[in-house]
Chains A and B, each alone.
Chain A
Amino acid sequence: MNTHDLIKAIARDAAAPRPSLGLLLLGACGLASVIAAIVFSTLLGPRPDFAQAAHTSRFLLKFVITATLAVTALFQVAELARPVSRSSHRVALLAIAPAILLAALLMEIATIPAAEWGARLVGTNSLICLTMIPLIGMGPLAVFLAALRYGAPTRPGLAGAACGLLAGGLAATFYAAHCFDDSPFFVATWYSLAIAILTLAGAAAGRFILRW
């Protein structure tokens, strides 16, 4: 078949409907949130003193950081889903969540005696954090990768990593409601590590799944 013949066949298929990529990604976010909520409530559920904890700034800050990470990662996913990116400076948005975390760390260093730093960093449930965030994020990661297959990512590994970061931010937002360790020391260490696991998994999977 020569190229001219191929064009005839493609042109006859012009009317095939093409749902919007943006809407599909939004739908994926909804589905991923539902999956994360089901896994979270089945395996963990919120901590018993949730109502009291909700009045403390350290507890609330965890949600601010993880939700900010999820939203900024979503922008990256939407950007990497297309062959041409609209603006390169959107990458800088990814620095917002780490910047808030860094500010919280500095506050913690300034207000808490150095003798307590170690205990706050180690926390009480780091292993649960390291297993549960990837566990809650696995389903959402699969959903985001599946949605990106409808896109045309020219950097599949990077796009997969962005999916992992988004899934990690989403999973950590749910997990934070269960987690008893509210210190920025703990969040910076164990949340980051858990989210990094999902990001690496996304990057590795993206190289195979996101080919087109």
Chain B
Amino acid sequence: MTERVPVLRIGDILLVSIQVDLEDQTVLDLQEDLADQIVARSARGVVIDITAVEIVDSFVGRMLATIASISRLLDAETVVVGMRPAVAITLVELGLSLGGVRTALDLEKGLALLRRSATGAELT
């Protein structure tokens, strides 16, 4: 069995920090784990940290979009943080603009973004 990516909890936010090379099976396991965790912990936000990811392909790009869609269905917002310039360029060249996925420069800004949108939601 392949390695699983740990899903950590900070308050009502789930943090997924991807530190390993992403194989297709790892990605599928992660989607499953994440969906389970969002429901189990009634999470409001998901932060995916890809600072350590140096190589992406279209499958990983689609994975990010899929996770975002799944989370949105479960009423959690997804923020992808720490994307490297090379990764961003690759995704653009692959024609994946990740519409619907929110992004932030680093983990701190990503958490701030979720916090901001939470307070914004309460105000309206």
Q: Do A and B come from one complex?
A: no
Residue ranges of B at the interface with A (Cβ–Cβ < 8 Å) = none
Residue ranges of A at the interface with B (Cβ–Cβ < 8 Å) = none
